[in-house]
Structure 1
């Protein structure tokens, strides 16, 4: 199963590089301080798994597709197809500002290509703006390269 996920990731990365939308989702697990969020990138599906009970809860019910997600200081940063980026400290309500402390940290016109956690920071790659680092999870961050 592991090699299948690696192949799917390589196919999706290659497809996104040449501007093709893959026909499948890539499951990504994001560790939060209160549990794990399972995000199916390329879809509108995200679920929270409580480590104590094993209960699974839907944490996103919107129409936009999830582009990427990354852990940030015990919470989660999630980028959506509508170009918004949200930070949820609880990991229980992603993509909905004012819901359980969730905040929109970017609402501009640039599309997010990918995000990755680097220690306590998150690197965000925008389609036309280059790379940015968020150090506090509450803003799109400091520009580091084009």
Structure 2
């Protein structure tokens, strides 16, 4: 329970020596550092199991009826066939060029470039406004002196 995982033991009816407890399913559901398992409860109708951990999560698991559990246990897992020819495929080469950016660095560089470009455009706009205001000021000044 300290690791945040729960174990499910499929017990057989009438197994008083608990020999069926040798096999179990382990589920890692809660955070193993901050999610120590604190509570495990069954619902009143025994169809659900609820778990609560220190990580603030609550999980709900649906329990199968005994007849469906037996069918599930009788089925064998199918192992997928091996892929042939994997050893002949060329491995992907690492990028060794120091001038190449990683995706995050490229994204940050692009954002920085966009911000710089926007600042430059704003600066040019402000300079144009200032030149226009200076021109109008000189014009008003000349008009006042000539009047």
Is the pair's TM-score, using the shorter chain for normalization, greater than 0.5?
A: no
Q: Which of these two proteins has the greater Rg computed from alpha carbons?
A: 2
Which structure's residues are more often helix, by fraction? 2
Name the TM-score, length of structure 2 as normaliser. Answer: 0.30
